[in-house]
Amino acid sequence: MMGTNYGRRKDDDKFSIEWFDIKGFMSICKVVLTLLVFVIASFQWGYTGDILWQCVWSLSLIKLVELSDE
């Protein structure tokens, strides 16, 4: 095993992920998931009138307001 090189290959140094903006993608996912919960809770609260769906709706509305401030 003498003379082996365990470092990075020369070809791998040029790899870049600039095209993949992970922060933008994750912020879009957060908004979409929160909107999905908000819409589902709105329909369920209107259909059943249960206090649990009102709580979920209120919490998702608060989260939407927080996301809009970012």
Residue 11 included in any domain: no
pLDDT at 11: 58
Amino acid 62: pLDDT: 95
Asked whether residue 7 is domain-assigned, the answer is: no
- Classify residue 14: in a domain, yes or no: no
Q: Does residue 55 belong to any structural domain of this protein?
A: yes
Range of the domain at 40: 21-69
Predicted local confidence at residue 17, as pLDDT? 59
Please, which pLDDT band fits residue 69 given cuts at 50, 70 and 90?
A: confident
Task: Give the total number of structural domains in the chain.
Answer: 1
pLDDT tens, residue by residue, 10-60: 555 555 555 556 777 888 899 999 999 999 999 999 999 999 999 999 999
Polymer length of the chain: 70
- Cα gap 70→62, rounded to integer Å: 13
> Can you give the C-alpha Rg of the chain in angstroms?
23
In a domain, 45, yes or no: yes
Asked whether residue 36 is domain-assigned, the answer is: yes
Question: Within a domain: residue 34?
Answer: yes
- Whole-number pLDDT of residue 48: 94
